[in-house]
Amino acid sequence: MRKLKSIVEGVVRYSSFIAFGLLLFHLGYDPDPLVYAISSFVFTFCLILIGLGYIFKILLNEPSILVGRVLLEILLSLFLIGFSFLRWDIFGMEFSEGILSYSQQFFLVNILVVVLFFIEVSKFSLTINKLKASPTLVFIMSFLILILIGAILLSLPHATTKGITFIDALFTSTSAVCVTGLIVLDTAKDFTFFGQVTIMLLFQIGGLGMMTFTSFFGFFFKGSFSLESQLLIRDYINENNVSEVYSTLLKIVFFTILTEVIAAFLIYHFTDDSLFATKGDHLFFSAFHAISAFCNAGFSTLSNGLYESGFREAYNMHLVLALAIIFGGIGFPVVINYYDYFKHVIVGGVKSMLGIEAYRHVPRVTNISTRLSLYTTFILLIVGFITFALFERNSTLEGLSGYGKFVTSFFGSVTPRTAGFNTVDMSALTVPTILIYLILMWIGASPGSTGGGLKTSTFAVAILNTFSIASGKKRVEVFHRQISNETLRKAFAVISLSFLVIGTGIFMVMLFNPELHLIDVSFEIFSAFSTVGLSVGITSQLATGSKIVVMICMFMGRVGTLTLLIALVRKVGEQRYKYPDENVFIT
């Protein structure tokens, strides 16, 4: 029975993979009638196999399976088999055409095929631990695979209006998966609706992380985690308690969806209907920018970004985007930490008021990492706001209203923190602002967030260590706690590697494009490494070699230089010896 169940699951899985591949083939190409007929037959046959597979899975499952899940799978099976018969015109032409016309042809089936494919991929991802690979290597490979899939999808003829080279498709896919936002083609004009939706899905999955995304849905539809899977996933979501893995995944996905839905609703409310041809365009614009903002992706369906005429003065919308960027960049560990804190305070307070039990104080609910990330983010936002308002008062802020200056300055302090949107003409920024932007981009977002960069906690630890050495202390202390030496060593390594990657990137781009200005190239590489996506307009001018360099910088900035180094360098065994200490002269 176990072997039979495994065979049925395999049939369902690979049938959904084939059906999804054929769906992409039909969406991306215009095949000749014979090829279309054959592929349609195979597609329909796969749908029947999936429907029958679900029925067999119900019969082979334990009697204790949830009734709701059984009913859902029965309805799914009948739906797939019924529509397959409609495609083969078993019920008669008139009846079939009436039903298909009512359901907008095969739109519902196509959506269902995409959902089924994602479900099967998610369940399959739970078996990744069988490869016996390190979590770090699996994390990196998941991004590489997603980038390659994205490049293939964007290379399809129907994804673009005028065609695209593979290097440009790879660049766009890398930029989307690494939530950067640098573009070599105009997202609004050069990509079709299919291409734009593909880009949106890439930065949605890339923002959360492929393994986080698939692990949640894999557990949701499979109904269980193996201990090995929980241990593997625990490292991706920064959860120390194995029993809380699914709970943490649920909180991450719920917070993501909730924030994006609220942001999309507010964006829709604060943008004028007259700017869009249809309601559908307005809704897609809102959803695209809400997801792009929360994921710190910086992609826009406007040719000039938010500086587009009609949108540059939509200040309320700018505030919504800025807040979505902050929530996405603050880090999921911070959100979960404060969720637990407020839950404890509210639940404990209510129980105390009702006389159920006395309020119990729990010390250290918020850890040092959370507080450092939050405080550093707040300080950087204030510094960015003040400097932007000061240095741009006679440039990009000139002629704006008081409220416009406030919102633009605030947005200008938020966007270099790995977001990538622009509400001003980037080429008109003053040199001091560009230099401040380089620092803000380099620091980036918080750890465990949708953003990239050095990370706020790393920067904070480095500053604390500097002041500790200057004051003659032998320990780094903050919030009545001592920061471990391992943390200090990691911070130093990450900072050193960041400068090495950025410096090498600038050198290589200047080698491939010597006609470009150094400050423009520096801005581009800082933006790429920190997955910001801001540019002074040179991205489309880059040579093929420069594009490859920028892609590598984007990838290393998203997965982390230290993470990549750990995955590549073989770890040494336990060192059972210790050499004598000796000081090195440093000034």
Using H for helix, E for strand and C for coil, what is the string for 370-383? HHHHHHHHHHHHHH
Q: Residues 37-56: what's their mean pLDDT?
A: 83
Q: Is the sign of the CA dihedral 469, 470, 473, 476 positive or negative?
A: negative
Strand-pairing partners, residue 160, are: 191
In terms of Cα–Cα distance, which of 538, 541, 540, 515 is closest to 526? 538
Does the structure show a pLDDT above 50 at 183?
yes
In angstroms, what is the C-alpha Rg of the chain?
26
Q: What residues have CB less than 8 Å from 239, skipping those under 6 apart?
A: 245, 248
Helix, strand, coil in percent for the chain, rounding step 5? 70, 0, 30
Strand-pairing partners, residue 482, are: 477
Q: Which of 79-93, 144-158, 504-518 has the lowest mean pLDDT?
A: 79-93
Does the structure show a pLDDT above 70 at 344?
yes
Distance CA 380, CA 463 (A): 13
Q: Residues 182-200: what's their mean pLDDT?
A: 90
List pLDDT tens digits, range 14-43.
888 888 888 888 777 777 888 878 888 888
Q: Which of 31-35, 175-179, 566-570, 579-583 has the lowest mean pLDDT?
A: 566-570
List pLDDT tens digits, range 485-517.
888 888 898 899 999 999 999 999 999 999 999
Q: What residues have CB less than 8 Å from 326, skipping those under 6 apart?
A: 377, 381, 414
Does the structure show a pLDDT above 80 at 62?
no
Q: Which of 2-16, 121-135, 212-226, 515-529 has the lowest mean pLDDT?
A: 212-226
Is the Cβ–Cβ distance between 93 and 116 less than 8 Å?
no
Distance CA 401, CA 158 (A): 43
Does the structure show a pLDDT above 60 at 167?
yes
Using the structure block, give the residue that is written with the tokens 């309601």: 279
The average confidence (pLDDT) of the chain is 82
Distance CA 252, CA 216 (A): 9
Q: What residues have CB less than 8 Å from 364, skipping those under 6 apart?
A: none
Q: Where are the alpha helices (DSSP H) in 392-484?
A: 402-414, 431-443, 456-470
Q: What are the tokens at 202?
A: 């890439």
Does the structure show a pLDDT above 80 at 88?
no
Distance CA 435, CA 4 (A): 64
Q: Which of 127-131, 160-164, 300-304, 342-346 has the lowest mean pLDDT?
A: 127-131
Phi, psi (5° rounding) for residue 24? -65, -35
242: which DSSP letter? G
Using the structure block, give the residue that is written with the tokens 């395999």: 10
- Amino acid residing at 217: F
Q: Residues 35-56: what's their mean pLDDT?
A: 83
Determine the pLDDT at residue 96. Answer: 44
Determine the pLDDT at residue 243. Answer: 65
Count of CA atoms in the C-beta half-sphere (13 A) of 557: 37
pLDDT band at 102 (very low <50, low <70, confident <90, very high): very low
Q: b vs e for 364-403, b when ≥16 Cβ sit within 10 Å of the residue's Cβ?
A: eeeebbbbbbbebbeebbeebbebbbebbeeebbeebeee
Q: Is the sign of the CA dihedral 434, 440, 441, 442 positive or negative?
A: positive
Q: Residues 378-395: what's their mean pLDDT?
A: 93
Q: b vs e for 259-268, b when ≥16 Cβ sit within 10 Å of the residue's Cβ?
A: bbebbbebbb
* Model pTM score: 0.84
Determine the pLDDT at residue 547. Answer: 93
Is the Cβ–Cβ distance between 397 and 408 less than 8 Å?
yes
Q: Residues 452-471: what's their mean pLDDT?
A: 88
Q: What residues have CB less than 8 Å from 470, skipping those under 6 apart?
A: none
Q: What are the tokens at 434?
A: 């560009």
Q: What residues have CB less than 8 Å from 420, skipping those under 6 apart?
A: 180, 181, 182, 296, 297, 298, 299, 527, 532, 533, 534
Using the structure block, give the residue that is written with the tokens 């869009």: 276
Distance CA 173, CA 180 (A): 10
Does the structure show a pLDDT above 50 at 307?
yes
- Amino acid residing at 119: I
Is the Cβ–Cβ distance between 13 and 120 less than 8 Å?
yes
Q: What are the tokens at 111?
A: 């959506």
Phi, psi (5° rounding) for residue 191? -115, 140
Determine the pLDDT at residue 270. Answer: 92
Distance CA 106, CA 80 (A): 11
